[in-house]
Structure 1
Amino acid sequence: MNRTAFFLLGFSIFGWTSAAQAACPEPENKEFATVATALFNCSSARPLKGAEQERKFQIHYDFPQTTPDSSGLPWLTIDPLREPASYMQAILIYATKSNAKPDIDWRIEDNKVESWCHAPWFQALREPLHGMTSERWSRPLELHKLQKDWARNWAVGIYNDVACYGLGTIWKDPTFPKTKDFSFPDGALGIKMLFTTAMPSQVPYLTGSKEWTVAAADDGSTMTMRMLQMDISVKDKRSPNGWFFGTFMYDATQPGDTVYERLVPVGLIWGSDPDLSATTYLEKAAIAKEGWVNPAVAARFYALPRQNLGLFGRANGPVDNPKSACITCHQRALDWGRAVLPKSPDEEQANALLPDVPYDPFDDAAAKAYFRNIGQDSPVPNTQSLDYTLQVSKGMTAFRNWVFTEFPDHAASTTDITPYPFKSSTAENTPANPAALATDEFKAGTTIMNNDLFTK
């Protein structure tokens, strides 16, 4: 395999076409196992322009061989249903005590006191300076009444040692991920930091927030982004569905010597509130009961067009889709056991099977189909749940699509679950250009963002 061919291998499934964009090291040979392992260990295949001398993002896999002791985790002594803000604060302190130190600054490979890791198979989407990936863009007026422009949002996620053990059970062999009967142990924690291009002049509460230089442009050019939001996801058997999802936001008006002390809890959620619909909300004054939203934060968004953070008052972050809710979105994580190529008939079927944000939130039937409580089940029968962790799900999709596209003879032998029987799964139905997928599917003007609009 020549150098150009390998470089294209790493990210062809995401629609990039220029070999000059590649940054993955060349493998020693063109054998499947060698190439798969090289891509697994690649930190970023995205381009970099104008900041070549800056420190680069380094993928870090610290997968314990045995389940870490989680009995001493500080949030376990706090009742999340009665004291959600205190529960969240304990998690925030735990996550930032070492990672947020200036000499580490979320470079988790430099943290010699604790074990943290990244999720595999995002090399095609992670920008090369901080390992950030593109998130949903914020429309004008979604973040503040002065916000007149679209804002781009990017994020980086890390996992604690308990979660890393779970990731290691899947990726013990980089050429053969095993997802059968997968679930994370209690105490697994994910942290996601979200940064935005929104300026303090339009979103005043961002004044003084943490700034990073991010290579977010398609050509690798950099832009300054500010920390707006921090998400937490924690596996906790006290949740009716097994997980708690929470969100913090930066607020310049809060006291504190550091940006992390000025993070305020937005909300904590443990269920989707299936019975909370447009009808019950508007006609019966129903409220979300399977979560908590900080009333002080909710009040500052109520006057904006979005009105609520999550649909009809469910917990959600400022960057997130106001027609959704944290846990509802994340429970969609699954493994189809096979490739689901972009723009293929299989993808059309997958999209129809997997409940998604209602196009019209005032359609009670559509909303009820999306806002479900599924416990530990998979959101689609006859598929493997990936335990509410979308980075695992998206990484698995990237791996399976790459195998099918570049090494189709290995597709069947690299899954330990039964592939989902899509009706149209034949070679004839493979799209002429299986690589066709925009590098930023959440940007302004795209179909996915247009469908994010309220229709009433």
Structure 2
Amino acid sequence: MESSLCRRIAGTSLLSFGLLLSACGEKAQNDMVAAQAPETTSSSVTSGTCSGTYPSYWQDPAAKFSNMWKGQEISNVPPADWQSPVFRISDKYPRQPVDDRAAQPWRDARFDALFRTDTPAAQKKQLAYDYSWLVMKYIQDGNVNRPGVEDWDVCNNNVRPWYSIPFQTYDAMSGREFTHGLTREAPVTFSTPQGAINTTMWAVGFFNATAAYTLGTVWQADGTAKIPAKDVSFDEGAVVGKPLFNTSTPEQLPVLANQPAWNANISDPSFCKCTPAKGNECTLIEESQQCPRSTTEWNDVRLLQFDFAVKDSRAPGTQWVFGTFVADGQRKAKEADPWLRISLLGVMWGNDTPPDGKLAHNYPLDVKKNGFMEEVIFWDTVNELNKYGGANPMQHMGHLGCNYRLNGPADNANSSCMSCHGTASVPDSNFDTPPLLSQFSGITKECVTPDPENPLVGVDRSGSKATVNNGVSFANIDSIYFANVPAAAPFNMTVETDNGPVNVMGNGVPDYASGRKSWISLDYSLQLSISLTQWMQWQENSDDPALERINFKELRRGVKEN
């Protein structure tokens, strides 16, 4: 990091030199306000749907945000010699509902059969395929392949407007980088024929106008957040698209060949961690010092996964459809458009919930032969991903989720797309939210195969040991995490045990100031939950001395054991 950033100093202005001092070994004074970048790289300039109301990225140099980064080592601002575009957050949200039905052909009646249980498997597979590609085309239209415009610069889309979510910027470890607005996601270990490789995912999400209207009920035009006191519901036709990039090379993961690649301002690809000088949590200053960003130290990131979510009331039980495309650079090398060198991994609109007392690890039975009731997996794509795998099948790119439910290469093998997203909730007064999956907490693990001789212990799908905690059985926890959570309904964390009802997160959780006892739903939007957590942290920390600021409830993903 030090040498690569110092190489930029030659030929730059004194202002640029000031920005880079800390990255070249000279520590910033603890009370120093982050230096300002040149006016030409300011993210606060208004353009189309990009208003500059909220910070566009961690350490955004616009003066009105500078107190957030006070005392930090500055490594996430464009140098004075930066010639490429700079990410701007699209935050000029619609203030009235928007129905884009005329541009959404997947809402046609012919797709009703996708959600019926009596539809033949072959027909359902074709419908899932057509539905997903129509959604992907809708997401990409006007966002890629525009002459003279950076792909996914959504400020001025001439086809339809797209929007970003604010305040994925405060956390120094995961906050948006300045080139494309990518946030650091999960660490992922992949098993390859050459051995295990430790990688990191970086991603950026976009919301259509229908979804952005709901965002605008939370994120106000004056740059503040209105914390929801009631369950949030996205409108019919809301669409979210999210490309996810990986730090591996095509030599390590051949499916990444011929994929879109970005020079992003990332931290160590092996997933940088911070060690606090005292206590259990690093301060934001320590995180900025120990995990700096660079555009030159590491390789480009490459498209590995592309997720989408659609609000669709035809989906029984959830009213949401989730889908995942993955890189397919070898088989689609001749495709002219690099953003179409992807293949559909699967689509789901429910979790195929196990019956009472049954377990998710083996329900439904023999899904490769019999399929699912509430999802479609494209096994040829799974096989293409897995043929590049090494000795550990659960670290192959095509590991999928629990019992082969839909989950992409970036996701956890013990869960599913809808299982994780169903937890999305407003943080309580302690900044608590339900764990994305139970493995990221001290509660009983999900997707566990019990020991035949001792049902109180077992192993989860990744091979990690598991025990029954606080009387919450493996079937109990699966009944929570693989339930079909209705749209805009609170995520349930209470189960019936032999000793009566148990709140698996402990008595008194959630702890909302209003006294509400159930979680406030954010309708499957984890991005909204994460951004609210960071906003609430900033509100609590803004009056604290910079040296004491700690983002002590950042998203806990753990080291992934795919």
| TM-score under structure 1 length normalisation | 0.76
Indicate conservation of the 8 Å contact 2:52/2:89, yes or no.
no
Cα–Cα, structure 1 residues 213 and 378, in superposed 2: closer, same or farther, change >3 Å? Answer: same
Asked whether the 8 Å contact 1:39–1:121 carries over to 2, the reply is: no
1:102-121 alpha-carbon deviations (Å, 9 max, x no partner) = 42410101324321110111
Secondary structure in 1 aligned to 2:337?
coil
Quote the residue 1:119 is aligned against.
Answer: 165
Q: Report the count of equivalent residues.
A: 390
Q: Report the Cα offset of residue 70 of structure 1.
A: 2.4
Compared with structure 1, are the counterparts of its residues 389 and 112 closer, same or farther at alpha carbon in structure 2 (3 Å cutoff)?
same
- Among 106, 111, 132, the residue aligned to 1:75: 106
Shift of 1:50: 9.3
Aligned twin of 2:90: 60
Which of 385, 392, 398 is 2:521 aligned to?
Answer: 385
Gaps spanning 5+ residues in structure 2: where?
A: 1-27, 38-50, 60-73, 116-123, 268-290, 449-458, 462-473, 493-516
Q: Which residue in 2 is equivalent to 1:318?
A: 409
Secondary structure of the 2:248 match is coil
Counterpart selection for 2:58 from 45, 58, 61: 45
Higher relative contact order (CA 8 A, sep 6+): 1
Distance 1:24 1:366, change over 3 A: farther
SS class of match (1:194):
strand
Offset at residue 283 of structure 1 (A): 8.7
The within-5 A match list for 1:149-168 is 149-168=197-216
Q: 2:423 aligns with which of 332, 337, 358?
A: 332
Q: Which residue of 2 aligns with 1:230?
A: 306
| Offset from partner CA, 1:232-268 (integer Å, 9 cap, x none) | 0111101120111101012111241112222111111
Task: State the alpha-carbon separation in 1 of the partners of residues 480 and 420 from structure 2.
Answer: 13
1: distance between equivalents of 2:89 and 2:386? 39
Q: Identify the residue that residue 142 of structure 2 maps to in structure 1.
A: 98
Q: Say if 1:398 and 1:288 are closer, same or farther in 2 by CA, change over 3 A.
A: same
User: 1:132, 1:154 within 8 Å by CA — same for their partners in 2?
Assistant: yes
- 1:221-260 to 2 correspondences below 5 Å: 221-222=294-295, 223=298, 224-240=300-316, 241-252=318-329, 253-254=331-332, 255-260=334-339
| 1:361 equivalent among 457, 460, 479 | 460
One-letter code aligned to 2:294: S
In structure 2, C-alpha distance between the alignment counterparts of 1:204 and 1:190, rounded to whole Å: 28
Q: Is the 8 A contact 1:155 1:195 kept in 2?
A: yes
Q: 1:274 to 1:402 in 2, by over 3 A?
A: same
Whole-angstrom distance in 2 between the partners of 1:68 and 1:219: 40
1:107 is aligned to 153
How far did 1:87 drift?
Answer: 0.4
Change over 3 Å in CA distance of 1:91–1:134 after alignment to 2: same
**Quick check: 1:309 aligned with 2:359?**
no
After superposition, the C-alpha distances for 1:334-358 in whole angstroms (9 at most, x for unaligned) are: 113434179xxx9xx9x87999755
> Which of 220, 235, 254 is 2:293 aligned to?
220
**How far is the alpha carbon of 1:365 from its aligned partner?**
4.0
- Counterpart-to-counterpart distance in 1, 2:180 and 2:476: 41
Tell me the secondary structure at the aligned position of residue 44 of structure 1: coil
CA contact (8 A) 1:63 1:161 kept: yes
Which residue matches 2:505?
Answer: none
CA distance in 2, matches of 1:114, 1:148: 42
Aligned to 2:345: 266
Structure 1 residues 32-68: Cα deviation after superposition (integer angstroms, max 9, x where no partner): xxxxxx9961111244369621322111113112211
Match of 2:483 among 354, 372, 394: 372
Residue 202 of structure 1: how far off its partner (Å)? 1.4
Between the aligned partners of 2:224 and 2:554, the Cα distance in structure 1 is: 25
Whether 1:208 and 2:284 are equivalent positions in the alignment is no
The CA distance in 2 between the partners of 1:76 and 1:61, in whole Å, is: 27
1:406 aligned residue (542, 558, 562): 542
Deviation at 1:438, TM superposition (A): 9.2
Q: Which amino acid aligns with 1:296?
A: D
8 A contact 1:338–1:400 mirrored in 2: no
Mark the CA change 1:368 to 1:328 in structure 2 (over 3 Å): closer, same or farther. same
Write the distance in 1 (CA, Å) between the matches of 2:360 and 2:432.
34
C-alpha distance in structure 2 between counterparts of 1:23 and 1:289, whole Å: 56
Amino acid at match of 1:220: R
Structure 2 vs 1, CA of residues 166 and 194 (structure 1 numbering), >3 Å: closer, same or farther?
A: same
Shift of 1:19: 6.8
Contact kept? 2:399, 2:409, Cα under 8 Å: no
Q: 78-87 vs 329-338, which deviates more?
A: 78-87
Letter in 2 for 1:230: F
In structure 1, the partner of 2:378 is 294
Deviation at 1:17, TM superposition (A): 10
In structure 2, C-alpha distance between the alignment counterparts of 1:56 and 1:333, rounded to whole Å: 30
Does the residue aligned with 1:400 lie in a helix, a strand or coil? helix
Structure 1 residue 192: Cα displacement: 0.5
8 Å contact 2:402–2:447 — kept in the other structure?
A: no
- Measure the CA separation in 2 of the matches of 1:355 and 1:370: 11
Structure 1: unaligned runs, 5 residues or longer: 1-15, 26-37, 409-431, 443-447
1:453 aligns with 2:530: no
Q: The residue matched to 1:86 in structure 2 has which SS?
A: helix
Q: Kindly provide the amino acid, as one letter, of the partner of residue 242 in structure 1.
A: Q
- Code of the residue aligned with 1:66 in structure 2: it is Q
Q: What is aligned with 1:278?
A: 361
Equivalent position amino acid for 2:85 in 1: R
Larger radius of gyration: 2
Partner in structure 1 of residue 235 of structure 2: 185
Q: For 1:21 and 1:147, how far apart are their aligned partners in 2? A: 44
- CA–CA distance in structure 2, aligned partners of residues 361 and 375 of structure 1: 26
| Alpha-carbon distance in structure 2 between the residues aligned to 1:149 and 1:60 | 35
